Amino acid sequence: MPKKKISIEDVAQRAKVSITTVSRVINNVPTVSDKNRAKVEEAIAALKFKPNVSAQRLARGVNNAIGLVMPGYPGIFHSYYAIELIRGVGHACETHRMDMVFHITDGNNPINSNNVDGIIFADIIENRKQVDAAMAGGTPVLIINNRVDDMEINYVAIDNFEGGRIVAEYLTGFGHERIATITGKLTTQSGHHRFEGFKQYLESHNGGIPPQYVIEGDYSRRSARLAAEDFLKLDERPTAIFAASDDMALEAIAVLLEKGLRVPEDISVIGFDDNPACLFGPVALTTVRQPLFQMAEQAVKVLVDAINKKNEGHVQQVLTPEIVVRETCCPPQK
Amino acid sequence: MPKKKISIEDVAQRAKVSITTVSRVINNVPTVSDKNRAKVEEAIAALKFKPNVSAQRLARGVNNAIGLVMPGYPGIFHSYYAIELIRGVGHACETHRMDMVFHITDGNNPINSNNVDGIIFADIIENRKQVDAAMAGGTPVLIINNRVDDMEINYVAIDNFEGGRIVAEYLTGFGHERIATITGKLTTQSGHHRFEGFKQYLESHNGGIPPQYVIEGDYSRRSARLAAEDFLKLDERPTAIFAASDDMALEAIAVLLEKGLRVPEDISVIGFDDNPACLFGPVALTTVRQPLFQMAEQAVKVLVDAINKKNEGHVQQVLTPEIVVRETCCPPQK
DNA sequence: CTGAAAGCGCTAACAA
DNA sequence: TTGTTAGCGCTTTCAG
């Protein structure tokens, strides 16, 4: 610390009390006389005293910090998802008076857990061994945005399966029968689950989904563009398209408009994410909102409880997404 | 820390050396015999010893952490800029073996600087008093992405003025004479500087820029859409458009394509940012690359030097952006 | 309600 | 090359 070295002792001296008393007022311990408290507060203000965080942590045996580690593969940072997570975790840490130590990883080096009380892994892409290592070291760990049902581990995730299902339900509710989808990358859990939920609903309510109506995307705009173009070449064009992300939905809409089609009159489109960009296109995008921010806050809460050993075993939570109705879906026009 | 309490002393005992020796091998002090080093390393491994970070920091009198504070106004997180900054700062912190404690602020509460050795303020939007407070407290501070020439303060920023200038130069180099611009929010420094550099070049090389060719945007896609539509209503349409961000450029292109125009044959478009989204549109966007990542790394370096008192006075650096040629600019077609 | 004193785990003179 | 020892600044029994 580059601060001048005013310690608790200087404050005690000036206030003519013991350092214990000073410590007490710092920590809001009630058993301090008003008179002494006032004196100490005066001294603290006069001396501009700031407690030394490291000393506090050492004495308390706590780090007062949680780590947030995110996979660093290209692109993750340009997703709405990552940003909301960071915001949410940051906010929650604030309310828990914890430092948030942020860490981007390539998945290789083990995460240093000496400086934190617990770690939140945002998704686990190729870095499961980091999770294992942290757990082996005895550090409380939580995975966010990924369900890991085969392991005894804390997680908080979105129910992407349900997300896909409600989209199918919503679209068939309008009377659509030719419903296509541009999926997310199917090797990701989100992509896989969204598609499965979607497909299974259609199978039991719409006679299934023909293969030419399913194109695997990878969450990139380019993949959506290609997929949309392919759909338009079909003899029987779909009347509705479900894109597994807003970015893809927006790109699909761009393609449709370029070809002179109308959205939603000619083709309905629905996305997934509730990315703010939804509002800024030519038509406000109907989509599925994932409670990302809340997920992050919830994650911190669970982890903090785990750190304080307030949990029994591990806690696994799934949050439910919901449809946000805007302007890009309507009944199929005859 | 929830770890079992294996301290340096346990290691010393097992290795049959003093704790000093253990400390020395932890810190890679060369003056340790190979034999002892080996013994200590064995003990560390066997005991799974992890040094207590708080104790180290206390003893060393450092926090070994730098703060990154970002304004939390809606939207900033959806900008490419913010993300690259976080990535860059995170990466640089890693190499300096510093924790990066991340903080989103609404500009009101003073930033807690007890737990860090220095603070990087990413931009300063409505939170200059936080900067002042931190400095008053004696904490080394650096501002990133904002030139503050009227203050004795460290900063590392992009030369947005130059960025605007090279765009104008590039476009006139093709022979364009009817050049329009959708500016960024002019109350932001970036928006203002980009426009000024652009305008001044045109004034001295193209006879200036007519008012109907300047529309103030606010970096949102919507503002770009409106602006592009307005340009198309003009009797003398521009043959080139400079948008002060890639997002806006992309939206402008979308409008042009929707109206059946070709890019770049009918209208050239150039953006600013080198957002990855440039590559994913219908045409790869020509743009201006800001060295955001390097700026962030540079910022950490300067700040760390400041913390170690290696700087004389304050250091103010400006990095130069450059044009990235892709497919959306060409000479005007007769 | 207050204070003395024993640590928390580690680093860094200083001696040897 | 090694070890002794005095802190780093704060929390927390334990007596009073």
CA distance A213 to chain B (A): 23
Q: Which residues contact A134 (CB under 8 A, 6 or more apart)?
A: A110, A111, A113, A119, A141
Q: What is the pLDDT of residues B285-309, one digit of tens each?
A: 999 999 999 999 999 999 999 998 8
- pLDDT tier at A1 (50, 70, 90 boundaries)? very low
Mean pLDDT computed over every residue of chain A:
92
pTM over 0.85: yes
- A59 domain residue, yes or no: no
pLDDT band (50, 70, 90) for residue B202: very high
Q: How many angstroms separate the CA of residue B241 from the nearest CA in chain A?
A: 19
Average pLDDT value for residue range B211-236: 94
Chain A's closest residue to B254, CA to CA, is A254
Of the candidates B139, B114, B330, which has an alpha carbon nearest to the alpha carbon of residue A50?
A: B114
Helix axes B8-15, B34-47, angle to 10 degrees: 120
pLDDT digits (tens, 9 = 90+) for A168-187: 999 999 999 999 999 999 99
Pairing of strands A240-243, A179-183: parallel
Strands (DSSP E) found in B73-135: 99-105, 118-122
pLDDT at B278: 77
B15 and B122 within one domain: no
Structure tokens at B285: 């966007």
Q: Is residue B113 part of a domain?
A: yes
Handedness of CA B157, B162, B168, B174 (dihedral sign): negative
Angstrom distance (rounded) from CA B277 to CA B271: 11
pLDDT, tens digit, 9 for 90 and up, residues A116-164:
999 999 988 788 899 999 998 889 999 999 999 888 999 999 999 999 9
Instruction: Please state the domain count of chain B.
Output: 3
Three-state DSSP class for A96?
coil
Domain identity same for A76 and A34:
no
Residue written as token pair 């058993």: A31
Task: Give the CATH number of the domain where residue B83 resides.
Answer: 3.40.50.2300
CATH label of the domain that carries residue B34 = 1.10.260.40
If we measure between CA atoms, which residue out of B187, B1, B204, B190 comes closest to residue B82? Answer: B190
Is B330 within a domain? no
Phi, psi at A264, each rounded to 5°:
-95, 0
Partners of A257 on chain B (C-beta within 8 Å) are 254, 257-258
In a domain, B57, yes or no: no
* B284 in the same domain as B196: yes
pLDDT tens per residue, range A259-268: 999 999 999 9
**CA separation for the pair B81, B273 (Å, rounded):** 8
Q: Are residues A12 and A112 in the same domain?
A: no
Q: What is the pLDDT of residues B11-35, one digit of tens each?
A: 999 999 999 999 999 999 999 999 9
Residue pair B120/B146 in contact (Cβ under 8 Å)? The answer is no
**Cα separation, B255 vs A120, whole angstroms:** 42
pLDDT at A124: 83
Residues near chain D strand, CB within 7 A: A 5, 7-9, 19-20, 23-24, 26-27, 49, 51-52, 55-56, 58-60; B 17-21, 24, 30-33, 35-36, 55, 58-59, 61
- Helices within B65-123 (DSSP H only): 80-95
B189 & B267 share domain: yes
Please give the share of chain A, as a percent, with pLDDT higher than 90. Answer: 77
CB B221 to CB A54 under 8 A? no
In a shared domain, residues B206 and B258: yes
Burial A115-138 (b: 16+ CB within 10 A, else e): bbbbbbbbbbbebeebbebbbebe
Question: What average pLDDT is seen over chain B?
Answer: 92
pLDDT at A52 over 60: yes
Question: pLDDT at position B71, please?
Answer: 86
Using CA atoms, how far residue A67 sits from A84, A85, A101, A238, B126, in Å, is 16, 13, 5, 46, 28
Q: Could you tell me what percent of chain B has a pLDDT over 70?
A: 97
Are residues A130 and A111 in contact, defined by beta-carbon separation less than 8 angstroms? Answer: yes
pLDDT for res A78: 61
| Domain limits for position A119 | 65-158+293-320
pLDDT given for residue B77 in this prediction? 62
Question: A83 versus A155: which is more confidently predicted?
Answer: A155
Question: What tens digit of pLDDT does each residue of A107-116 get?
Answer: 888 898 999 9
Verify that B102 and B202 share a domain, yes or no.
Answer: no
pLDDT surpasses 90 at B311: no
Sign of the torsion angle spanned by Cα atoms A303, A308, A311, A312: positive
